Every structure is written in structure tokens, then in C-alpha cells.
Amino acid sequence: MKKYILTAALVAGFAMPAMAASEYYVAQSAKDKKCEVTSKKPDGKKWVEVGTSTYKTKADATKALKAAPECAPAKK
């Protein structure tokens, strides 16, 4: 019985990091207005969420970051 519990705990331990970052956000710094992709939901104070979508992959979030007008580099 202990062997099965230990095995289940090990399997869960290896599976959790793979599932940890299942959502990505595009966030903008309130201080310097720079944008980045993060797996942690922006707090609304230091980091503000750009748009209202979450993304399943980092690549999708990066694509949205590049398309967001808030994240465009300032034109001189």
C-alpha cells in the first residue's frame, strides 16, 4: 500500500510543473510602460493586464504582445 501511495506522489510531483504554466498573460509595467509575457496574472498595480485574454501558449501571448497598440515602441 505504501508503495502505491509513494508512486502516486512521485507521478503527481513530476506532472505538476508541466501543468503549472497553462495560461499566459500580456502585462504592461505601470512604471515604465514596457510589456512582457508572464505566466502569473498581473496584479493591476505594478503590472497591468493588456487586453482581456489569456493564452494557452507563450508563442500566442508573444504574438498578441507584438500586435497590441499599448506595447508598440514609441515613435520618434
pLDDT of residue 46: 95
pTM for the full predicted model: 0.67
Q: How many CB atoms lie within 10 A of CB 51?
A: 14
pLDDT of residue 74: 58
Beta bridge mates, 35:
28
- Burial classification of residue 50, based on how many CB atoms lie within 10 Å of its CB (0-12 exposed, 13-18 middle, 19 or more buried): buried
Of residues 13 and 43, more confidence is placed in 43
* Residue spans per domain, the chain: 22-76
Helices (H), 1-76: 2-20, 58-67
pLDDT tens-place string over residues 18-35: 555 699 999 999 999 999
pLDDT tens-place string over residues 33-60: 999 999 999 999 999 999 888 999 999 9
